[in-house]
Amino acid sequence: MSAVLPGHAHDDHADAHGHDDHHHGPPAGFMRWVTTTNHKDIGTLYLWFSFAMFLTGGMLALTIRAELFKPGLQIVNPEFFNQLTTMHGIIMVFGAIMPAFVGFANWQIPLMIGAPDMAFARMNNWSFWLLVPAASLLIISFFVPGGATAAGWTMYAPLSSQMGIGQDLAIFALHIMGASSIMGSINIITTILNMRAPGMTLMKMPMFCWTWLITSYMLIAVMPVLAGAITMTLTDRHFGTSFFNAAGGGDPVMYQHIFWFFGHPEVYIMILPAFGIVSQIIPAFARKPLFGYASMVYATSSIAILSFIVWAHHMFTTGMPAAGQLFFMYATMLIAVPTGVKVFNWIATMWKGSMTFETPMLFAIGFIFVFTMGGFTGLILAVTPIDIQLQDTYYVVAHFHYVLVAGSLFAMFAGVYYWLPKWTGHMYDEFLGKLHFWCSVVFFNLTFFPMHFLGLAGMPRRIPDYAAQFADFNAVASIGAFCFGLSQLIFLAAVIKCVKGGPKAADKPWEGAEGLEWTVPSPAPYHTFETPPQVK
């Protein structure tokens, strides 16, 4: 049957379809990774890249915590401290969390919907490799005159208008990462809409695919707006425009509006795929189907839609009319409804299930517990008068680390342990996995729980020095942070050990797991579903 293929269709994509017998694994060596168009290879690249960025951003965070271990200036000067907080945020958001979820999407979405590969395999390669120059620009910016940008990860004007060339490098890096995200999203939407196996209707799709479909739409809606905002900053800096320059008739507060129009959907972009992963894992280890599948789909969509009309809750102190403050307060609180639907559905899924507590399940339950705490502090911050008190304090730092670390990151750990047997063909070391979980969850709380108290007591964020009464909680947080950082080396060890060997994993290593990915052998062959499976 391959003989009838027209000549120009002989690229990897058509290839993946036709020639079964003289088929081959990947070419060997470094060039395999540079030229690959295989969704599994690209998924692996994304995951390793984001882990490297996670360690980089983590090193910055530990330098911050070392400085904050006691009052006074010990290790870094204030200018460099501001660069650390800024780059920690940018690297973790754009370099670690977002690419990691794209890595999961690359590996899992074709396997879950029975597609042979992503829709645009070459664009897929490009969207990954764009990340490498972008990350390099960010790292290089530490070594240019004036250092990296210190305007905060939000890059508010007028600070961002006044920074040195480190700011330009950060803007270019974000442009490139944005382009990469948009291409990745287009790829995911097209794959999900056009390439599902026969019988795989949208409402039969695994939740992970649903959450990524919605996330992708959000990405192509808001990443271009961020690109616009930082382009305006760039032209303000170099081409004499005055979008955010008050002296020229512009308005720095407008930057905040445009940024958060991107920024608030962005926080859901970073959590919806985590919801998807947890929605795969909880049913598998509770040995029950997901409770309220349809309501999960609608809840995810509602969160996505609501996320576009709440952005100004980041700006309650900028002098908004009272009607605006009330609108954004109530709209923000409304998001708790669909989020609550999801949390209760997960709990209902576990209710009377035959639960076992392997590492993926531990991380998934840990996610629900700690993420919900972050959700509650979010609800508290949504109340305008309270927010005005807590604006830019450590309470906010505690809040978003509860949802981003305990939310997104824990869900990703859960996902890695859950699918690692499928990816590598080996079972991971359960002892290392459990050790990693308990260390992570204990030290995470040791790091971030005291920050609530610091914030309530009035300690501002983004400062290298603080008043003596904050010393004890800061010392506790710093000890927690170093232990949390070291705990991640357990994760690295567990993954490397699993890649190198270990007990042979069955095609379906988890008794209660459902889905097409468990119908292919472990490790998943280089090409899967060249003939689409039939879904009943």
Partner 1 sequence: MSEAVQILDARANNRDTLKKLLVITLLMFGFGFALVPFYKKICEVTGVNNLDGSGTPTTANTQVDLTRKVTVEFDANANHLAWQFKPMTRGLAIHPGELTTVMYQVTNTMDHAVTGQAIPSYAPKESAAYFKKLECFCFTQQTLQAHETKMFPVVFVIDTKLYKGIETITLSYTFFDVAGTGTVRAPS
Which residue of the set 46, 107, 255, 268 is catalytic? Answer: 268
- Is 257 noted as a catalytic residue in this protein? no
* The residue count for the chain: 536
- Asked if 456 interacts with partner 1 (CB under 8 A), we say no
- Asked if 186 interacts with partner 1 (CB under 8 A), we say yes
Cβ-based nearer residue to partner 1, 251 or 392:
251
Per CB under 8 A, the segment of 6-14, 44-52, 147-155, 289-297 that binds partner 1 is 6-14
402 Cα distance to chain centroid: 13
Of the candidates 45, 112, 131, 195, which one interacts with partner 1 according to CB under 8 A?
195
Per CB under 8 A, the segment of 23-31, 74-82, 191-199, 519-527 that binds partner 1 is 191-199
Q: Which of 317, 157, 312 is nearest to 248 (CA)?
A: 157
Q: Which of 418, 325, 321 is nearest to 108 (CA)?
A: 418
What's the per-residue H, E or C state across 451-476? HHHHHHCCCECCCCCCCHHHHHHHHH
Structure tokens at 36: 């690959």
- Asked if 1 interacts with partner 1 (CB under 8 A), we say yes
Least Cβ distance, residue 438 to partner 1 (angstroms): 43
Least Cβ distance, residue 168 to partner 1 (angstroms): 19
- Asked if 251 interacts with partner 1 (CB under 8 A), we say yes
Least Cβ distance, residue 437 to partner 1 (angstroms): 38
Partners of 393 in beta bridges? 460
152 and 89 in contact (C-beta within 8 Å)?
yes
The 154-183 site mask, x for binding partner 1 (CB under 8 A), equals ----------------------------x-
- Is 37 noted as a catalytic residue in this protein? no
Omega before 158 within 30 of 0, i.e. cis: yes
- Asked if 234 interacts with partner 1 (CB under 8 A), we say no
Least Cβ distance, residue 239 to partner 1 (angstroms): 14
Q: Which residues fall within 8 angstroms of residue 399, CB to CB, at 6 or more apart? A: 374, 377, 378, 381
Q: Which of residues 101-130 bind partner 1 (CB under 8 A)?
A: 119-120
Least Cβ distance, residue 35 to partner 1 (angstroms): 20
The three-class DSSP label of residue 164 is coil
Cβ-based nearer residue to partner 1, 45 or 232:
232
- What is d(CA 416, CA 189) in angstroms, rounded to the nearest whole number? 23
- Is 517 noted as a catalytic residue in this protein? no
- Asked if 475 interacts with partner 1 (CB under 8 A), we say no
Structure tokens at 14: 């058509």
- Asked if 254 interacts with partner 1 (CB under 8 A), we say yes
Structure tokens at 107: 């590996």
DSSP per-residue letters across 365-405: HHHHHHHHHHHHHHHHHHSHHHHHHHTTBHHHHHHHHHHII
Q: Which of residues 260-279 bind partner 1 (CB under 8 A)?
A: 261
User: What number of chain residues touch partner 1 (CB under 8 A)?
Assistant: 40
Active site residues: 88, 117, 153, 180-181, 264, 266, 268, 279, 313-314, 339, 342, 461
